Amino acid sequence: MHGINEKLEFFPVRIAVLIVSDTRTTETDTSGAVLVQRIEAAGHVVVERLIVPDDVTAIRNIVSTWIADPDVDVVISSGGTGLTGRDVTPEAVTPLFEKTIDGFSVIFHQVSFQSVGLSTLQSRAVAGLAGGTFIFCLPGSNGAVKDGWDKVISYQLDSRHKPCNLVELMPRLQER
């Protein structure tokens, strides 16, 4: 059986949220607000929320800082995964990955297809692991954030999800 086993203990994870945008501010960032609200409603802790311009160096520096921070278990970014010239989140983040979570992109696109049809082709949503930190890069729309969190990420960050979840792997991520 798969799903949430309510009899098991829930372990909150510490999540940093990065919004990649040249135009958004804290006041106008609706997708970041949606993501933070959902993370907190699920019982997790948002350790930081930042907005950074579509710039490879700026994105990479912030994500690298969070990877090195023992108080950050997960990084979720929103924005910059499209196909235009300014969309550079995958280019900034994937070189940091020690391992790519290929299944995330596959499942995200399946979920996204149900919402936006073939327009999901315009997203380069990716996920990976670096320094014991899980990193998920979502598109910047509210719908994509809702789909990514509600239908994919939230389950894998719930320690009660069976048959398996990412939380139970956390103690072993730095094994050599």
- Domains of the chain and any CATH numbers: 13-168 (3.40.980.10)
Buried b (16+ CB within 10 A) or exposed e, 79-92: bbbbeeeebbbbeb
Residue located via tokens 């954030």: 145
pLDDT in tens, the chain (176 residues): 589 999 999 999 999 999 999 999 999 999 999 999 999 999 999 999 999 999 999 999 999 999 999 999 999 999 999 999 999 999 999 999 999 999 999 999 999 999 999 999 999 999 999 999 999 999 999 999 999 999 999 999 999 999 999 999 999 998 88
* 174 phi, psi to nearest 5 deg: -100, 10
Q: pLDDT value at position 103?
A: 97
Q: pLDDT value at position 2?
A: 81
Q: pLDDT value at position 1?
A: 54
Q: pLDDT value at position 90?
A: 98
Write the CB contacts of 62 (distance below 8 Å, at least 6 apart in sequence): 18, 50, 52
- pTM metric for this prediction: 0.96
Residue located via tokens 């108080």: 71
Write the CB contacts of 91 (distance below 8 Å, at least 6 apart in sequence): 56
The rounded distance, in Å, linking the Cα atoms of 118 and 54 is 25
Among 134, 136, 135, 112, residue whose Cα is nearest residue 123 = 112
For the chain, the helix, strand and coil percentages under 3-state DSSP, each to the nearest 5: 45, 20, 35
